[in-house]
Amino acid sequence: MTTYRGRIITFTDSRKIEDFEGYMQVEHGIIKKLSKEKITGEYEDYRDYLILPGFIDTHVHLPQVAIRGKWSDDLLKWLENYVFPEEKRFLDEDYARKMSRRFFGELVRNGTTSAMVYGPPSRESTEAAYEIADEYGINVFMGQTLMDMNVPDELKTSTKKAVEDVGYMAERRENYVLTLRFAPSCSMELMRETAKIAKLYDLRIQTHISEQKGEIEVVKEIFNKGYANVYDTAGVLTPKTVLAHGIHLSEEELRLISSRGSKIAHCPSSNFFLHSGVMKMKNMRKHGISVGLGSDIAGGPYINMMEVMRDAYYANPLSPMEIFRLLTLGGAEVLGISDVTGTLEPGKYGDFTIVKYEGETTEDILANLTFYGNENRIVGTYSHGRQVWGK
């Protein structure tokens, strides 16, 4: 049992924000008690710091950790010129291991304790990446990035092998995610057959949707249908599906996604970096679609979620409180883990981040984090009550 003292700011499951100087007690990885009064016994003293729920990144690409800053304003050219050549290198399991160490190391240094991750392009290298993730002990939801067309041959997985691999991983990893790159590089057969396995094992699914206009045209040419309809026909739109971007969706597509209960990973830094456009939060609200924040490394240049918060503000006029909710409770809802993390409340995992702060009121503090937050603010990261990083 360990007690932590600090300024605790968290949303609660009832969507209220709490902010108080106090104590949090964690036992066997689970939060037992929060209190404004001193809890008897020793405590870890973070009295000049914030204790925040661990940050949640709902969309990030592990094999792109080394190509941050490679820029383009054309998604398809960017993929071809930078992403595919780098992802090919991840077929080598040693390289995958080395870069996974760098990736998960950076996540915890930046206060992220839960992430939905696009893994390497093979099942074997993704298993290696999972082994490294285990060493860090954070909540990782990941799958190998599946594709079978319009990409270099080395990156392709046949439907037959994909079906075998997805079943194999689902048997071994409860956090395994069916990861379909996006419709322009996945045949209907690949999507449909793997979605059947996902249904069988009740897996999470992740893919990209409606990020850039040129990409949307390609989808129309290949499938003769709108983007959301393609996924729906394949059985990919489920309540456990996380769709990245969703910038240019029509009303009809938004209605369809909402009716299927699928979620959106909003990646504002990426959307600015690749000049994809601006996702309108009011569209998601109107249709009752859940939204979390994603760094989308390396489409987005920042792995630190406070920098993504800043871009979320520039994309939509949201209050710092609302953006903090998207990062924490919102992200947990999108990943289907709000029963165990995303807020600091008794019964949840001891997933929290210790952060240097400035300001007096809740709003001032969260605004300061949103506009000036970066890696240097993070003093310690705890996952399931264990310190996974600390200065």
Shortest distance in whole angstroms from residue 182 CB to ligand GUN: 4
Site string for Zn ion, 359-388 (x = CB under 5 A): ------------------------------
Tokens 């240094």, located at residue: 109
Are residues 56 and 292 in contact, defined by beta-carbon separation less than 8 angstroms? yes
Q: Is 86 a residue that touches Zn ion (CB under 5 A)?
A: no
| Sign of the Cα pseudo-torsion (265, 29, 391, 344, in order) | positive
Q: Which two tokens stand for residue 74?
A: 């054309």
Amino acid at 48: D
**Alpha helices by DSSP H, 47-174:** 75-78, 84-89, 93-109, 123-136, 159-172
Shortest distance in whole angstroms from residue 123 CB to ligand GUN: 18
- Within 129-168, the residues that bind Zn ion by CB under 5 A are none
Tokens 């190509």, located at residue: 67
Angle between helix 305-315 and helix 362-372 axes, rounded to 10 deg: 100
211 binds, among Zn ion, ligand GUN, none (CB under 5 to 8 A by kind): ligand GUN
Residue 269 has what DSSP assignment?
A: H
For ligand GUN, the nearest residue by Cβ is 299
333 binds, among Zn ion, ligand GUN, none (CB under 5 to 8 A by kind): none
Q: Which two tokens stand for residue 308?
A: 């993504």
**Gap between the Cα atoms of 137 and 250, Å rounded:** 40
Q: Is 156 a residue that touches ligand GUN (CB under 6 A)?
A: no
Shortest distance in whole angstroms from residue 216 CB to Zn ion: 15
Are residues 384 and 350 in contact, defined by beta-carbon separation less than 8 angstroms? yes
Q: Is 211 a residue that touches ligand GUN (CB under 6 A)?
A: yes
Identity of the residue, 181 or 204, whose beta carbon is nearer to ligand GUN in the bound complex: 181
Identity of the residue, 83 or 197, whose beta carbon is nearer to ligand GUN in the bound complex: 83
**Gap between the Cα atoms of 125 and 123, Å rounded:** 6
Q: Which of 86, 193, 253, 296 binds ligand GUN (CB under 6 A)?
A: 296
How does strand 17-27 pair with strand 30-35?
A: antiparallel
Q: Which of 49, 182, 324, 357 binds ligand GUN (CB under 6 A)?
A: 182
Q: Which of 88, 123, 208, 377 binds ligand GUN (CB under 6 A)?
A: 208
193 binds, among ligand GUN, Zn ion, none (CB under 5 to 8 A by kind): none
Site string for Zn ion, 219-248 (x = CB under 5 A): -------------------------x----
DSSP SS3 for 69: coil
Which residue from 362, 363, 337 is spatially nearest to 351, judged by alpha carbons? Answer: 337
Q: Is 270 a residue that touches ligand GUN (CB under 6 A)?
A: yes
Shortest distance in whole angstroms from residue 29 CB to Zn ion: 30
DSSP SS3 for 246: coil
Q: Which of 215, 296, 307, 311 binds Zn ion (CB under 5 A)?
A: 296
Q: CB neighbours of 14 closer than 8 A, spacing ≥ 6?
A: none
C-alpha distances out from residue 179 to 64, 225, 384, Å: 15, 21, 26
Site string for ligand GUN, 67-106 (x = CB under 6 A): --------x---x---x-----------------------
Give contact residues for Zn ion (rule: CB under 5 A). Answer: 244, 296
Q: Which residues bind ligand GUN (CB under 6 A)?
A: 61, 75, 79, 83, 181-182, 208, 211, 270, 296, 299
